[in-house]
Amino acid sequence: MNYITPILFSFLLMMSACTDPGRMADNPFYSPSMLPLEAPDFELIEDEHFRDAFIDGMEFQLDEIREIADNSEEPTFGNTIVAMERSGALLNRTQRVFFNLTSAHTNEKIQGIQAEFAPKFAAHSDDIYLNSALFNRVETLYDRRDEMQLDHASLKLLEDTYRNFVRAGAQLSEEEQLRMREINERISSLTTEFQEKLLDLTRERSVIVENEELLDGLSSDRISAAREAATERGYEGKYLLSIINTTRVPILTSLNNRDLRREVWEASAFRGVGQDDGIDTRPIVLELAELRAERSEMLGYPNYAAYALEPQTAGSPDRVLEMLSDLIPPVISNTEQEAELIQEKMRKDGIEDELRPWDWEYYAERVRKARYDIDESEVRPYFELNRVLEDGVFYTMNRLYGITFEEREDLPVYHPDVRVFNVYDNDGIQLGLFYADYFERDSKRGGAWMNSFVVQSNLLGQRPVVVNVLNIPRPAEGEPALISFDNVTTLFHEMGHAVHGLFSDVEYPSQAGTSVPRDFVEFPSTFEEDWAIHPEVLKNYAIHHETGEPIPEELLDRLIAAREFNQGFETQEYLGATMIDLEWHLLNSEEIPSDVESFEEAALSKYNLDREAVPPRYKSPYFAHIFSGGYSANYYAYIWSEILAADAFAFMEQQGGLTRENGDHYREHILSRGGSLDALELYRNFRGDDPDVRHLLARRGLDAD
């Protein structure tokens, strides 16, 4: 009855509140999906369904919130906090589908809805968190928390709820709250606009190549894929090279033509600066920085970084800067050693010019080949996508956790590329559903991520439905999907996020799965990466796609050894982007510059990271993580989480490595607990100690001195 009653109540509420009850029968979002585990029914979902479901979903949730706030009974944890956890079913159900589509398979109609509703969603959130009657009930419970005898998860939920109200402005004056609403709506609109422009930039900055001879160095399957991509865009007989995500473009490792390498690199590095009357995202960057600073100051913080880091495990910008400052010297030392080797290789090729950013990855690959006798074209035939997924990723999850994946083709998907798998626990009971969406396309933004269509909750009786999204280059028609080792590790990384969602076993939906601090959420995903090079795992999936022969032992040894080369570059480009992020958000509202490029140059120089040949991984005009992706002042989280991941992997290796006992211990203390306990407390419960940063340096092949 505890599960049925809220559903019946919500249904009756919708029937009474809906301005057009007839549309409920035609809109699949108005009731839980009838598919297994409430998976979205994409055969029924149409773009126009989102608008009605959003309008009514917000109205229904506000009705629920008003009922909670106006309850004449004394506030209790059940009639206030738990009631809030139950609210918003229609809105949550719709948003989870919609926001995956805005990133993974968007179109003009979806973009229009996103732009229309972004400020409305911000206003809706404010209507909840700036509701004074509701806050009074929450505050009353918070003040009595020591006498309520709540379990750990419930106490944390209460404390987090109170903190969220305060950080939203619940204690501000009416005039200040009005300004806060204006800021929040504007920020929401700007981040949406930034995301849309980045998708447009992917199309705008593609490089069209007229002559196949210029593609010398690329494999035949990559050339075929480039030809097909050009044809799809209307460039018959030409070749299209896509610009995706980072400043560094993976294809630069292979292109022999230096002029074309420069063209591709510049197409990537100068995105969003309005070249040739193109898209200019810099005004959005400046306005967002100013609005975030103003909002933080209204709440009593010196800058946005202080506001954003308060609820993270780091706690403050000073702690982050201290950690990063300790890393910079050994990273620069390694980068300089790598640069000397690369420059030497260029001289042997007769190039007397200075080392340029479009040279680095190309010659780093050749140095790696010379030092370790490794060539990407030699390795890629051993990494066929489906085998990597099934015999690598799924195999590892089975060895560690006992789970199995079974593909099913009867569930509707949002794009033909998407695959669906039942996930079964070690006792044969279904844990959840896993969706896999791996190939790049014009309707998908760059990068890789995990989302949830349904989040686990014992309170709501729901099991998880999760999706992994990547951007692997699509093979030509009829060709096998041979992938780079970077793509291999990304598959393992995103599966780390997926099992974080799939293994969730918590009461409250707001604490489920990946609902943890931003600088902790990348720990479980980064942890899974290192299994990709575990000898037992590699031998199971690194099989030649034509001969069926396993990867030779000596090639395997060389591949693992070669991973350490170029880590100085990899880490420095990441630190460059991290420092740009922090410097933007350490500004107060009076310090916002007018020139984005000059600000970036000064930020990199400040930390001795201003080497021309090692540009930041992202520049501000296309830095999606911080201007549209929720990582503002938090991009450091990847390396902060990597400290935990490297330490956890080293600890597990000491305990016997790839065993069910180790996997079950990790699952019990980390993956199943979500945000129900303090993140570092979870880690200490698993590890028995605090993490040791030396394992990070070893993981990246950096000299600790």
- Residues marked active site are found at 494
| Closest by CA position to 364, among listed 565, 216, 217, 563 | 565
Q: How many CB atoms lie within 10 A of CB 248?
A: 22
The neighbouring-strand residues paired with 408 are 420
Q: How many CB atoms lie within 10 A of CB 496?
A: 24
Q: What are the tokens at 284?
A: 């959005």
Who's near 416: CB < 8 A, 6+ residues apart? none
Helix 317-348 to helix 357-372 angle (10° resolution) is 70
Q: For the residues of 268-322, what is the DSSP string, one character each?
A: HHTTTB-GGG--B-HHHHHHHHHHHHHHHHHTT-SSHHHHHHTTSSS-SHHHHHH
Q: Is 224 exposed, middle or buried (0-12, 13-18, 19+ CB in 10 A)?
A: middle
What stretch of H or E contains 453? strand 449-454
Where do we find the tokens 């509140």? 17
Report the alpha-carbon distance of residue 343 to residue 229 in Å, rounded: 34
| Closest by CA position to 324, among listed 93, 680, 615, 635 | 635
- How many Å is the Cα radius of gyration of the chain? 25
User: Number of helices (H) and strands (E), helices first, in the chain?
Assistant: 28, 7
Pair 460, 10: CB distance under 8 Å:
no
Pair 230, 236: CB distance under 8 Å:
yes
Report the alpha-carbon distance of residue 595 to residue 618 in Å, rounded: 17
How many CA atoms lie less than 13 Å away from 85 in the CB half-sphere? 25
Pair 492, 468: CB distance under 8 Å:
no
Pair 342, 355: CB distance under 8 Å:
yes
Report the alpha-carbon distance of residue 453 to residue 433 in Å, rounded: 10
| Closest by CA position to 63, among listed 157, 127, 106 | 127
Residue 295 Cα distances to 168, 300, 588, 625, angstroms: 10, 9, 10, 20
Q: How many CB atoms lie within 10 A of CB 582?
A: 23
Q: Is 312 exposed, middle or buried (0-12, 13-18, 19+ CB in 10 A)?
A: buried
